[in-house]
Amino acid sequence: MSKGRDSNETAWGTKRRTILKACCAFALTAPAVAARGDETDEASAPPQAGDALVFAFGKRAGQVIALADLKVGSKQVLAFPMNPTTMRVRDGSRLNQLAVVRLDPAQLAGDTLARAADGVVAYSGVCSHTGCDVTDWFNDKLHFKCPCHESEFDPSDAARVISGPAPWQLAALPLKLAGDAIVVAGPFVGRLGFAQPGGPSGP
């Protein structure tokens, strides 16, 4: 009987040590997992007041966009907001992608002018029709164009729909200047997301 008890106690001791090791390992890795979770949350969070706009793609991806980088009337630049304290770019959600363009302030409608920073305006860079990137540009009319189904938007007037199947205008993001940098002044204005084919509004 004593030998049986010793064997059972030895087996339990081994199992207990295994459980304790697993708990210690979890305790050591949990902070790292939590940190990664925090980074993911920050990247997916919507633009915050004070965020700097940075280039979304290309050789300058992640660099802050300065006023001097944007020529009046030139094609839109795709951007993401970035937390200037942590330097974390909020690129975890496509809905944070922005179409940024600089226009003549004298040509901006009242509400649009109020949200602009020296003629620079920013809108959701995701088309409200089926969610394509709004990457095309009409040089003659200074309008955005979605390449998928040719919806056209007027950035001088709240990105209202000029033509095409887009069901609503692009959500606007208020801006201001901080030195020469373009930064977020407030949350999106208007409906954000897109209409799924045959379904309700998208994410």
Instruction: Provide the residue ranges of all domains of the chain, joining segments of one domain with +.
Output: 1-44, 52-184
Q: Mean pLDDT across the stretch 51-74?
A: 98
5 C-beta neighbours (distance < 10 Å), count: 9
Comparing CA positions, the residue from 49, 78, 65, 54 lying closest to residue 179 is 65
Task: pLDDT band for 35, please (50, 70, 90 cuts).
Answer: very low
Task: pLDDT band for 196, please (50, 70, 90 cuts).
Answer: low
- Is the confidence at residue 187, as pLDDT, over 50? yes
Are the CB atoms for 148 and 132 separated by under 8 Å? yes
Task: pLDDT band for 37, please (50, 70, 90 cuts).
Answer: low
108 C-beta neighbours (distance < 10 Å), count: 19
Domain 52-184 carries which CATH code?
Answer: 2.102.10.10
Q: Which helix (H) or strand (E) holds 40?
A: helix 2-44
What radius of gyration, in Å, describes the C-alpha atoms of the chain? 25
- Is the confidence at residue 5, as pLDDT, over 90? no
- Is the confidence at residue 141, as pLDDT, over 60? yes
Q: Mean pLDDT across the stretch 63-67?
A: 98
- Is the confidence at residue 22, as pLDDT, over 60? no
Task: pLDDT band for 32, please (50, 70, 90 cuts).
Answer: very low
**Polymer length of the chain:** 203
